[in-house]
Structure 1
């Protein structure tokens, strides 16, 4: 008997070409069981009802004409959406099962129970529309799912409700918007053996970064219990990011981000009347990650395997059985938002002035929007929403979609990047900030705010109307150049936004940004935690490092992961990471830092850069920096990272620093490690030949070089007119060091601000023969064009 003739078909008999018979969800489950099981991807067994079974139910109960008439009344304005949906659902819920279909469902359920070694096995009953999960449309969340269904009567009941859910208000409006004929879309029901994730964990996984479309990472969200809370956004999940290109190397652990979510509740099994229910999580559950590193890597490898098989970015749901510890993929569908974006064109938003920060959360999208708050606490108040305002609520579900479409932006208390609010916001092209924790408490209706998703993976809510501009970048217009044009990046949270730029690598990644924003603690305060006298600092450090017995490991983990995101963005191109270059007053501002820093009259030319690294005052802190770089290169696998030493005053100082680095496992030349030096002091230029014997390359820091060449404090308002990176004395310094580096066979670039602020400065650098120019991302296209012009003129002159 063929699939189209049978009311029920087992997953293992299905392939993805069977969408018309059993919908996208069920055909995809069959595809994975048939083709990916042998590659280690575990999918729970089950069966599906066919589209024929759906139409048979419709016709046996004689409701086809009534359905069509009700839909026609709605499309002609004679009835509301709510009235229409309720009336069509009632037709299904009052229907009787055709004997052949009911018998087939019950027989398959008995066999599934037998396979599971149980009487009346617990199953998930999922809806799978026959037009769903196409490349330009996702029906995810449009129909109902029923969990922990046990017993034949309960199963038939859930299946009937699945049929009815094809006509939820949200499903009807979505099909109408996408142009699907309501009377030509059927519904298949997937009956799948439950994974005991109620006593384990579950979540959602994407094979690309959901916000930027960066295609080299897997994003995983995880929570305790059944997965509905993650999908609905009712819980703030853990978030993990894994770098795909290094997953095939068993010796590496390329997890580049781990963020612990609040996970305040979990969904567990209930009883016959209420199959599932939410309960609070324990303190231990809230403080622990749901997944161990090896489980994160297993899921990420599965995501890469599934993506490779399907040939497109994928959106997947996973579960871990609490009884066996086994991981499973329970759904997989094509990702439909980033995959459909125009690759060559993207907009860059730049915030210029802003009010007080009110709230923050996870940023969804990359836009900025100002507007008035409309605070809606529950779905029953949806009709109070004001079109064009910013929706602020606790969480959303598919019932909220009609007003989400009318919002300028969305802000929620709960949810992660894979929550309903996040997914719908992406589909609608709206900026959203989710998982703020307390937006509904701190914001109020009528309040003027700005929602900014343009500053990295942290979304900000500012008071009032911010000033910002929008730049459209077209990658088709970027010329090729012989001189390498690289990026200056500091914020790991924003690094993936620039992956589409055809840059030649990262010319400057500032370690201190990660330390001050992600770590916040002075490294010496971690090494000598027990001797700290500042009790307030001690308490704060204890809270930040609560998960670590060895507090130094907190620094190493946070720093290596932060830098890994920058290293990943343009992998395998070189990423030059500058070791910490705080001044003493900036170090003192870190938690616990005041006890370890001297007070200096002029920190700008004081105890900074290389002089700290071998000093007893900071040597142990520098050792932690070295450990983080070693982990970044050896354990995470980012051998594209080049280390750079700032403010190295003398050749003897260079020798001391290289010796300390070697003691801490970073020996120049070993495992391909290159070490550069900043050229920002006149002595670096004067003794360039000698410095080149100790370093593989130079990076000109034009700000400090200008300051020290001209004797001008770059922060002085009185002397602002004298601070000029294009002064002839400064240009002489730059030209001289480029020449000397070339003679010595050392690479030389520039990472100062001058090329970003003055693209015409690029011509001077090209004429001098510089190897690379590193600029801020927003000036990349302009500088690239100036470099191409300069190279063209030089070629013509030659």
Structure 2
């Protein structure tokens, strides 16, 4: 663009990101997308921007520069409060008037926009765009105002002036002070953009906002306009897509779909409210009577309505929508060269992007140290919600309904409120933790908490009704995506892991991962993949229903259980698809955390008593005297009581590998007693479409029964690898109940009998070209056991993530002794 300081109006198609000094970050970014990414298929509503110079001229011609400077100086010297200063400055700007030239420039551009769209008095969004915002290291998003569904020349002028005034909201003043920006060096441009009459809208990030994992797109959405998500007045739907596989033809790598409550939606208000000024001939006179605080109430441009039950139970985006938005996110991220924070809308004519800015929290973290939090005790669980961060906070709950009560809030208390908006920031800074009734991971409360590094749990539903001021509570975000609030002050540990201090080893070090929630916390660990994923944790916590109850609902005779299952499977006309799809997404998300490194997924290994605990399980499970040695593992997979359900597990793996594209998944069969049993299981798997060797599928067997060792040569002809389950192997070699407190001193995987078994299977497996790994804590807890495994030539050792640093030290030391050389350098 040939920019000049004298220009009053710039059309978006003229702008580039280099034009921030003229139109601010928000408008420059919109122009960049329209001018540079249109050919890539990205759709952005058209519009124009007023110049930053027009704002400066407005202040000068109304004689406002000196009064604003004086008011700011009084605040700096303590002669006036922040609230007093901001209110006076906003009033000064609101009472100013546009020159005839300025008024003509804005109204003429608006009229041209109406003519281009062939819509008289077209509805527009009028947004503030500061000249120092949306930089890679600073975001002014939410600091100034935006006005939606503005129609008519008078309302556009009014909204523009109140955007000017919002440069001096209390939160904007504080933010500039913290970032070191001189107040009067920051100017403001106003963007006037065609409104998308949104059926649904939301936000999108090109990384995981909780931990910076760069390979996913995270999308939140709700019905109506997107303001309800940012405000935190709804818990939105949540979607996640794995970016690298988007480019693989035919793959659909959606790894998360979570239904939010979406209890409200913001929609256009009736026409009569939005057109209240169109008959006024003196626009400046009408505008000057309105202060910035009352503008949005007077326009009535939007209204918030309750959603229907059907809307609450329906995802706002189809799978095709989710994939399209994710592809746009990848294009935009590559174009800008950094992780991006975007806003989208879905109208009658499809999807649009309405904003894009650099993400400025997680993308700025380049930490070499991971801090792990873990509770040392537990108590009554009071609330659950979406976790923000991974920390733990303790303190007394303090309920606040008005952000102006900041002086009443004690430092270090736990803030409890319905939701927050930018006016709450000064109060949020004083909190040790934050709990809200509504909102999701991209609500204002979540975004600000993340930036302030204050742990928060949002969308609990009833925190303000459940908690009382002064009540001691513990807020834990250490368990993944679901945050929990416990009664009382609980003790907890913190552990720092310096990634640079973890030695590299010749033996492959892998991690154990049971739950999709929180798996991305460990993406920076220098490991070779995941050595054990137990799908029963996904089944019990996320699916919750016994798979046979989905296949044969007629056998579930308890109407209460049937109703609960019907609610969980809403949207799945064929109930078994609920099991397949959700298990596939859970496994896919875990596989995404390490792709393309191998991820070994163990098929279900519940005992019959544990299966009975699932919804409907009592109608399909036996009552066994000794479930530990009963119908478990491989024996279930071909048994008439479970064979159909096992096929659902297999179909879920097929979906994760072949539909989503996670071909790094290796399947593992637990508790396989005989080679004949192995043949039967492999046959059932093949019937379900999961055939060893097809599309590179490898199948491992757990080595946890003496027969697996004694007949290792025969098992090696049926499987591609072994994973030693040291707990069960120790139990069966020594004849000790692994859960017996009395025999606990005798239960030790370092016993010579167990070690001889391990050494034997490693030797035989290698003779047949099979890999051997082990899962468990013993190698990290006992250096001599790590040394034994290394000397046996084991291929991999899989540890809990928080033990990787210690385990790698033990393994590196063992390798150095074996080779009689120094440990390998990092």
Separation of aligned partners in 2, 1:588 and 1:708: 25
SS of the residue 1:104 aligns to: helix
Equivalence for 1:727? 751
Say if 1:757 and 1:583 are closer, same or farther in 2 by CA, change over 3 A. Answer: farther
SS of the residue 1:740 aligns to: helix
SS of the residue 1:446 aligns to: coil
SS of the residue 1:654 aligns to: helix
Separation of aligned partners in 1, 2:193 and 2:567: 42
User: Which residue of the other structure, out of 612, 615, 627, is the alignment partner of 1:591?
Assistant: 615
Q: Deviations over 1:699-741 (max 9, x none)?
A: 0000000000000001001101110111111111111111111
Contact 1:756-1:776 at 8 Å conserved across structures: no
Q: What are the equivalent positions in structure 2 for 1:573-652 lying under 5 Å apart?
A: 573-652=597-676
Q: Find out whether 1:96 has 2:122 as its counterpart.
A: no
Equivalence for 1:497? 521
User: Which residue of the other structure, out of 316, 319, 338, is the alignment partner of 1:290?
Assistant: 316
Q: Deviations over 1:87-143 (max 9, x none)?
A: 100111010102222211111111111111111111000000100122222111000
Contact 2:781-2:807 at 8 Å conserved across structures: no
Separation of aligned partners in 1, 2:405 and 2:249: 53
Q: Deviations over 1:741-761 (max 9, x none)?
A: 111110100013322443542
Contact 1:759-1:782 at 8 Å conserved across structures: no
Q: Find out whether 1:373 has 2:374 as its counterpart.
A: no
Equivalent residue pairs, number: 794
Equivalence for 2:243? 244
User: Which residue of the other structure, out of 685, 708, 711, is the alignment partner of 1:687?
Assistant: 711
Equivalence for 2:126? 125
Separation of aligned partners in 2, 1:533 and 1:164: 64
Q: Find out whether 1:397 has 2:421 as its counterpart.
A: yes
Q: Deviations over 1:124-177 (max 9, x none)?
A: 000001001222221110000000001001100000000000000110011111
Separation of aligned partners in 2, 1:535 and 1:42: 49
Separation of aligned partners in 1, 2:361 and 2:231: 18
Contact 1:675-1:697 at 8 Å conserved across structures: yes
Following TM superposition, by how much is the alpha carbon of 1:424 offset from its aligned partner in structure 2, in angstroms? 0.3
Separation of aligned partners in 1, 2:781 and 2:684: 37
Equivalence for 2:180? 179
Contact 2:411-2:431 at 8 Å conserved across structures: yes
Q: Find out whether 1:705 has 2:729 as its counterpart.
A: yes
Contact 1:3-1:50 at 8 Å conserved across structures: no
- Once the two structures are overlaid, the 10-residue window that deviates more, 264-273 or 515-524, is 264-273
Separation of aligned partners in 1, 2:769 and 2:735: 31
SS of the residue 1:358 aligns to: strand
Say if 1:765 and 1:557 are closer, same or farther in 2 by CA, change over 3 A. Answer: same
Following TM superposition, by how much is the alpha carbon of 1:388 offset from its aligned partner in structure 2, in angstroms? 1.2
Equivalence for 1:69? 70
Equivalence for 2:206? 207
Contact 1:352-1:469 at 8 Å conserved across structures: yes
Equivalence for 1:138? 139
Equivalence for 1:277? 303
Separation of aligned partners in 1, 2:437 and 2:713: 58
Contact 1:85-1:168 at 8 Å conserved across structures: yes
Normalising by structure 2, what TM-score?
0.95
Equivalence for 2:437? 413
* Structure 2: 5+ residue stretches without partners: 275-298
Q: Find out whether 1:461 has 2:460 as its counterpart.
A: no
Separation of aligned partners in 2, 1:268 and 1:7: 32
SS of the residue 1:5 aligns to: coil
Following TM superposition, by how much is the alpha carbon of 1:192 offset from its aligned partner in structure 2, in angstroms? 0.4
Contact 1:453-1:459 at 8 Å conserved across structures: yes
Separation of aligned partners in 2, 1:304 and 1:471: 35
Following TM superposition, by how much is the alpha carbon of 1:350 offset from its aligned partner in structure 2, in angstroms? 1.4
Contact 1:608-1:647 at 8 Å conserved across structures: yes
User: Which residue of the other structure, out of 365, 368, 376, is the alignment partner of 1:344?
Assistant: 368
Separation of aligned partners in 2, 1:209 and 1:97: 44
Separation of aligned partners in 1, 2:100 and 2:84: 31
Q: Find out whether 1:518 has 2:517 as its counterpart.
A: no
Equivalence for 1:38? 39
Q: Deviations over 1:487-540 (max 9, x none)?
A: 000011011110110110000000100000001111111111012222222122
Q: Deviations over 1:233-253 (max 9, x none)?
A: 111110000000111124111
SS of the residue 1:96 aligns to: coil
SS of the residue 1:502 aligns to: coil
Equivalence for 1:149? 150
Separation of aligned partners in 1, 2:518 and 2:53: 49
SS of the residue 2:247 aligns to: coil
SS of the residue 1:353 aligns to: coil
Separation of aligned partners in 2, 1:696 and 1:508: 15
Separation of aligned partners in 1, 2:331 and 2:15: 19
User: Which residue of the other structure, out of 287, 296, 304, is the alignment partner of 2:330?
Assistant: 304
Q: Find out whether 1:168 has 2:194 as its counterpart.
A: no
Equivalence for 1:263? 262
- Once the two structures are overlaid, the 10-residue window that deviates more, 372-381 or 22-31, is 372-381
Following TM superposition, by how much is the alpha carbon of 1:281 offset from its aligned partner in structure 2, in angstroms? 0.9
SS of the residue 1:229 aligns to: helix
SS of the residue 1:231 aligns to: helix
SS of the residue 2:517 aligns to: helix
Separation of aligned partners in 1, 2:718 and 2:367: 42
Following TM superposition, by how much is the alpha carbon of 1:468 offset from its aligned partner in structure 2, in angstroms? 1.2
Q: Deviations over 1:434-490 (max 9, x none)?
A: 000011110110000000001010000011111211111111112221110000000
Q: Find out whether 1:222 has 2:221 as its counterpart.
A: yes
SS of the residue 1:377 aligns to: coil
Q: Deviations over 1:268-310 (max 9, x none)?
A: 1112230101011111111110000000000000011111111
Q: Deviations over 1:158-205 (max 9, x none)?
A: 0000000000011001111111100100001000011111xx110000
Contact 2:406-2:426 at 8 Å conserved across structures: no
* Structure 1: 5+ residue stretches without partners: none
Normalising by structure 1, what TM-score?
0.98
Separation of aligned partners in 1, 2:556 and 2:184: 72
- Once the two structures are overlaid, the 10-residue window that deviates more, 335-344 or 156-165, is 335-344
Say if 1:90 and 1:797 are closer, same or farther in 2 by CA, change over 3 A. Answer: closer
Separation of aligned partners in 1, 2:75 and 2:728: 69
Separation of aligned partners in 1, 2:403 and 2:156: 29
Contact 2:3-2:22 at 8 Å conserved across structures: no
Say if 1:521 and 1:2 are closer, same or farther in 2 by CA, change over 3 A. Answer: closer
- Once the two structures are overlaid, the 10-residue window that deviates more, 618-627 or 376-385, is 376-385
Separation of aligned partners in 1, 2:375 and 2:333: 36
Contact 1:364-1:426 at 8 Å conserved across structures: yes
Separation of aligned partners in 1, 2:393 and 2:791: 43
Separation of aligned partners in 2, 1:96 and 1:123: 22
Following TM superposition, by how much is the alpha carbon of 1:577 offset from its aligned partner in structure 2, in angstroms? 0.2
Q: Find out whether 1:190 has 2:191 as its counterpart.
A: yes
Contact 2:669-2:702 at 8 Å conserved across structures: yes
Separation of aligned partners in 1, 2:394 and 2:133: 35
Say if 1:797 and 1:259 are closer, same or farther in 2 by CA, change over 3 A. Answer: closer
Q: Deviations over 1:562-613 (max 9, x none)?
A: 1111101111100000000000110111111011111111111111000000
